Amino acid sequence: MRISVGADGMAVVQHHLRYRIVAGHFKTLDFTGVEPTAELVADTTLLPEKGGEVVAHVAPNPKTPGAVKIALDDPRGLGRGVYVVDVKYRLDLVATKMLVRDGAMWRLAWTAPPSPEGHDGARVVFELPSAPTEPRLASPEQAATTLATLRREPDKDELELVRAHIPRGDSVTWSARVDPKAFPRVVSPELRPPVASVTASIAVPNHVPLVLVACGLALLAGALAIALGAKQGFVARACEGSFVRARPLLPLRWGLGPFAYGAAGAGALAELLWGTPAYGAALVVIAMTLGAHRSPAAIVRPRGPGRWRPIADEAVLVARPRAARPGDALDIGTRAGKLTALALVVVLGVAAFVLRTRVAGAAIAIPLVAATLVPLFATGTRAQLPRSPAELAARVLAPARDALGRLVDLAHVDVRCLARFRDGTSEFDEVRLACSPADRIPGLRTIELALATLEPGAPAALPEILVRFEDASEAASKIAQLAPGVRVVTGRGPEEKVLRLSPRVPTPSGAARLLARLAADLEGRRASDRASAAPKPASVSRGFVGADRRAPRSPRPLAFSGATAST
């Protein structure tokens, strides 16, 4: 038996029958067990074993339901011998319930006509359209009595089932599990349930009134728009006070950024709950992009004239907490921002827990949409703004001064803070640490520890050392030996020269070690520095009174990474 099934569930069943006539002449042959709704193929041919052909036709037997009659066109009938005939008919497997659902697969079950005589080697071949999943036996129990052989081709799959013996009068049901994708033209609602209407689900999502849903989404969009508008205002005012320019990650003209941010957040929640989750995830990413800020850009401008004056250490070297500002509630780096973020996490967690049984998917959608709030707290923060001169001094100069006190005796080294005040104001824009020996080599003016920013408006700075000395002096000769090959530039006047050095390790302790070395090497020889000068009274002499503290030594190069620049 061969059952060829089409993509529409229609099958062509072919019975390959073998008759043996022992005696007599037969003009008709009977065949039972055919489905009453089957559509017979009328014409057929009998092939005698001795050769030749006998034309016949097949018709239903009106006396017996499910039986067909094979009538011969030759009036002489069939004599003794063996004859082979094929009986074909068409059958709708879906209408006859021979093709039914079986979990994710479909089950094809076909019952063969009862066997009038017991026979061996019963064979059925299911010819099916090709599909991603191959056809197989319907149950593991059938493997004990049925041998299955699968042959796969590009356009069809053949599953051959063989049983060793069929008893007399036994009607065997042959069944297999098949892939539904093999029958794309089958549209029976029993096999393919209709998909729920998307419009209906949006109209009444999870039995929540549409008016309530619309109001909730509108409130969410408005709250998000107000939050981003406030954040952008805080960032703009803070950048204006620090002389930098705010930079949203995705700037929109005419102030449309907060509105687009609120619409994207509300749309993401609606898509995640009642639409396509992939679209909802994309809207979450868009909302996060709209709410993020890049590091502010510096506004390059001349700082104007000013004067360097000494300033008290406690005014610049003592770290002070920053004063609170309105935008701290949306800054995760501040205490107010941490408390606000914690409160939002608690509120959103409670909302997701309460709605998890009332709105399908709320336990997942609400945390995902809450990710749109992360850029409000994590970007546009104080940490991205440039540090004030006092903050930079407290971070770098104060540790360097403490490390220098552990390396040298501050009784013989003059250390003080200098600040540059703008003309006509009491504000300063730079702080330096001035360090020089109490008895310095002639021509040495001062040694300054300054802070160099990597770029204008950067939030951090690196230490650098400026050695100021007079041209053509003894200090100039000594510095040429200590830093050979390093270019010297003009300082604040034509007679002043400046040597700029960067510590090899750009840390406060590395700067302190270089300062201590310079203070020791540029200290005067006391007794020998002014040997040729006329003696002066002790009250006006600047020479050292007492034994020389330093052992004579030859100068050696400093450990630094040299750089030249105008200062």
Q: Is the dihedral of CA 9, 12, 13, 16 positive or negative?
A: negative
Token pair recorded at residue 473: 């002096």
End-to-end CA distance of the chain: 101
* For range 270-292, the mean pLDDT: 92
Per-residue model confidence as pLDDT tens digits over 134-145: 999 988 888 888
pLDDT score of 313 more than 70: yes
Q: CA nearest 108: which of 116, 100, 120? A: 100
Token pair recorded at residue 67: 């039986």
Name the amino acid, one letter, at 554: S
Helices 277-291 + 257-274 axis angle, to 10: 160
Query: Looking at residue 564, what is its pLDDT?
Result: 39
| Beta carbons of 158 and 150 less than 8 angstroms apart | yes
Per-residue model confidence as pLDDT tens digits over 503-522: 888 899 999 999 988 888 88
Query: Looking at residue 566, what is its pLDDT?
Result: 36
Cα 121 vs. chain centroid, distance in angstroms?
60
Name the amino acid, one letter, at 560: F
pLDDT score of 544 more than 50: no
Query: Looking at residue 534, what is its pLDDT?
Result: 41
* For range 30-40, the mean pLDDT: 85
pLDDT score of 230 more than 80: yes
Q: CA nearest 301: which of 429, 389, 489, 419? A: 429
Q: What is the largest CA-CA distance in the chain?
A: 163
Residue with structure tokens 């003309």? 423
Per-residue model confidence as pLDDT tens digits over 419-447: 999 888 888 888 999 988 888 889 899 99
Which of 159-163, 305-309, 550-554 shows the lowest mean pLDDT across its residues?
Answer: 550-554
Per-residue model confidence as pLDDT tens digits over 471-492: 888 888 888 888 888 888 898 8
Euclidean distance between CA atoms 135 and 156, whole angstroms: 11
| Count, residues in the chain | 567
pLDDT score of 546 more than 50: no
| Beta carbons of 479 and 498 less than 8 angstroms apart | no
pLDDT band (50, 70, 90) for residue 106: very high
pLDDT score of 321 more than 80: no
Q: For the chain, how many helices (H) and strands (E)?
A: 12, 25
Task: Report the run of H or E that residue 100 belongs to, with start and end.
Answer: strand 99-102
Residue 209: C-alpha distances to residues 186, 204, 213, 257, 430 (Å): 37, 6, 6, 30, 63
Euclidean distance between CA atoms 467 and 436, whole angstroms: 9
Euclidean distance between CA atoms 512 and 395, whole angstroms: 14
Q: CA nearest 78: which of 48, 51, 52, 117? A: 48
Which of 63-67, 174-178, 324-328 shows the lowest mean pLDDT across its residues?
Answer: 324-328
Query: Looking at residue 324, what is its pLDDT?
Result: 67
Residue 276: CB atoms within 10 A of its CB come to: 11
Per-residue model confidence as pLDDT tens digits over 378-387: 998 888 888 8
Euclidean distance between CA atoms 99 and 108, whole angstroms: 5
Classify the phi-psi angles of 33: left when phi > 0, otherwise alpha if psi is within -120 to 50, otherwise beta: left
Task: Report the run of H or E that residue 343 belongs to, with start and end.
Answer: helix 335-355
